[in-house]
Amino acid sequence: MSKFSSTTAQRAMRAMAAALVLSAGAATMTVLPASPAYAAQIRYVVNDTPITSYEIQRRAALLKLMRRSGNLQQLAADEMIDQTLRRQAMAQNRINITDAMVNESYANFAKGNKLSLKQLDQILAQSGVTKEHFKEFIRTQMGWGRVLQTKARSSLQLSQEDVVRKMLEEGRQPSTTEYLLQQVIFVVPSAERGKILGKRKREAEAMRGRVQGCSNLIDLAKTQLDVTVRDLGRVLQPELPADWKDHIVKTSPGNATPVRETERGVEFITVCNAREVSDDHVAKLVFQSELTEDKSAADISDQTLEELRKEAKIVKR
Assign 80 to helix, strand or coil.
helix
Is the pLDDT at 183 greater than 80? The verdict is yes
Residue 287 · residue 169 · CB < 8 Å? no
> Tens digits of per-residue pLDDT, 76-110?
999 999 999 999 999 999 999 988 889 988 998 99
Q: Which residue has the higher pLDDT, 35 or 57?
A: 57
Mean pLDDT of 210-228: 91
Domains of the chain: 3-153+300-316 (1.10.4030.10), 176-277 (3.10.50.40)
pLDDT digits (tens, 9 = 90+) for 237-292: 888 888 899 999 999 999 999 999 988 999 999 999 999 988 777 776 676 666 66
Q: So what's the pLDDT on residue 27?
A: 37
53 within 8 A of 124, measured Cβ to Cβ? no
Phi and psi for 147 in degrees, rounded to 5? -60, -45
Share of the chain above pLDDT 90, in %: 54
Kindly report the pTM of this predicted structure: 0.68
Compute the mean pLDDT over every residue in the chain, rounded to the nearest whole number.
84
Percent of the chain past pLDDT 70, that is, above it, reads 78
- The answer, yes or no, to whether residue 48 has pLDDT greater than 60, is yes
At 123-176, the pLDDT tens digits run: 999 999 999 999 999 999 999 988 987 777 666 666 666 655 666 677 777 888
Other CB atoms within 10 Å distance of the CB of residue 34: 18
